[in-house]
Amino acid sequence: MNNEIGSAFLERDTVTVARELLGNYLCRCGTASDSTQRWVITEVEAYDGPEDKACHAHRGKTPRNAVMFGPAGFYYVYLCYGMHWLLNIVTGPVDYPAAVLIRGVGAVRGPGRTTKALGVDKTFDQQPVCKQTGLWLEQSERSLPAEAIQATPRIGIDYAGPIWARKPYRFVID
């Protein structure tokens, strides 16, 4: 069975992609073993374009966030607070900086703990979302009922001002 999620899914509207990623699988083929791990995506946040003051790209292109300006279907991984890797998936068209932050998979809560559980670090930055990298997305056979999804404001971005800090761009499975 191959339900691999590709760029056709990811290059759509960022908020839509974030919401629809819930309930699908983030898959990891570890280097330590041959087994494949499949994690249900339970918590995500959308960072949508240059207008979004909470998005790292809202102040323009820099070496760190350049991958967000590229095509959908690539990882944007960066170090936060000196100790946590945060995993994002680039979405939307070329030259439109947007990404979806993976905040939680399975029973793991918190973006830093998620990357630790998956063994994700800087080496995945700017890598394509596909099986060859050892980290990819698979569609679930069953779609999630709409009432299982909760939308809330994003976490830890109060600096973005009331307008953007209050946008309901965080999605969690109830």
Give the residue with the Cβ less far from DNA, 3 or 158: 158
Considering the complex, state which of residue 93 and residue 121 has its C-beta at the smaller distance from DNA.
121
E strand segments, the chain: 25-29, 36-48, 75-80, 84-90, 98-105, 108-109, 135-138, 149-152, 170-173
Query: CB of residue 2 vs DNA: minimum separation in angstroms?
Result: 28
Task: Give the footprint of DNA on this chain (CB under 7 A).
Answer: 45, 47, 54-56, 59-60, 62-65, 76, 78-84, 86, 88, 99, 101, 110-114, 154-157, 159
Is the C-alpha dihedral spanning 161, 166, 171, 174 positive or negative? Answer: positive
- Tokens found for residue 125: 């930055």
Q: 162, exposed or middle or buried, with CB in 10 Å at 0-12, 13-18, 19+? A: exposed
Report in angstroms how near the CB of residue 27 gets to DNA at its nearest.
Answer: 20
Question: Would you say 143 or 161 has its CB closer to DNA?
Answer: 161
Shortest Cβ 3–DNA spacing (Å): 25
Token output for 41:
């995506």
Q: Smallest gap, in angstroms, from Cβ of residue 90 to DNA?
A: 10
Of 8, 4, 7, nearest to 24 by C-alpha is 4
Of the pair 35, 161, the CB lying nearest DNA is at 161
